[in-house]
Amino acid sequence: MIDHFDVLAPWYDRLLRQPDVGRLARLLGLPSPGRLLDAGGGTGRVSEHLQGSVGTVVVSDLSQRMLKRARAKHIPCVRAHAEKLPFENGQFEHVLVVDALHHFCDQQQAIEDLIRVLKPGGRMLIEEFDLNKLPVQLLAMLEKMFLMGSRFLHPETIADMIAAHRLTVRIESGGRFAAWIVAEKTRA
Ligand SMILES: C[S@@+](CC[C@H](N)C(=O)[O-])C[C@H]1O[C@@H](n2cnc3c(N)ncnc32)[C@H](O)[C@@H]1O
């Protein structure tokens, strides 16, 4: 099957708006000397701005061509399913997913694996389009028409899926189209 992101990769960074790096860094608890996993991190569009605020950044993604762009920015990359990450338990102090959860094939499994690689005491941040907003509902319909296999979830549903693993979760809304789900993994 065609990978839409392999096709979009050469133009991706130019097509998208600049990320709100200040907000992402604040919600992630940066600066920090720890390690950050940017899962579904694509071209490193976000990670390239966070590299100076954290010890190490790793981008994981499925699309070879998106990763090729991230590698060109000297960001360490791993080709992997978010549902089956090739990392030991608790390797990352910070886990970030921007605009990617709705693309993951098995969101439940991806959330489980992202929590697995998050260190106790660590923080996970998911930025997603907020399905409570009408323009996002239209975008969800469009992505369905283009057979992108997207499955948008309400921020509250994502928060519940994470809280089921006994993390402390809160939602920050107030973005134009996005919501941010911030989760802390309690220390063992
Ligand atoms: C809309 S892009 C977002 C990229 C990046 N996070 C950003 O904000 O620029 C979604 C990314 O998720 C990746 N992706 C889709 N399904 C995936 C999966 N199951 N595991 C890992 N990455 C996946 C795609 O290849 C794509 O690079």
Q: How far is the CA of 62 from the centre of ligand 1 (A)?
A: 7
With a CB cutoff of 8 Å and minimum separation 6, the contacts of 63 are 3, 5, 6, 9, 42
Residue nearest to atom 12 of ligand 1 (CA): 40
- pTM of the shown model: 0.96
- According to the model, what pLDDT value does residue 179 have? 97
Give, using CA atoms, the residue closest to atom 6 of ligand 1.
41
Shortest-distance Cα residue to atom 17 of ligand 1: 104
Does residue 89 register a pLDDT over 70? yes
pLDDT, tens digit (0-9, with 9 covering 90-100), for 103-137: 999 999 999 999 999 999 999 999 999 999 999 99
Separate counts of helices (H) and strands (E) for the chain: 8, 7
Query: What tens digit of pLDDT does each residue of 144-174 get?
Result: 887 777 899 999 999 999 999 999 999 999 8
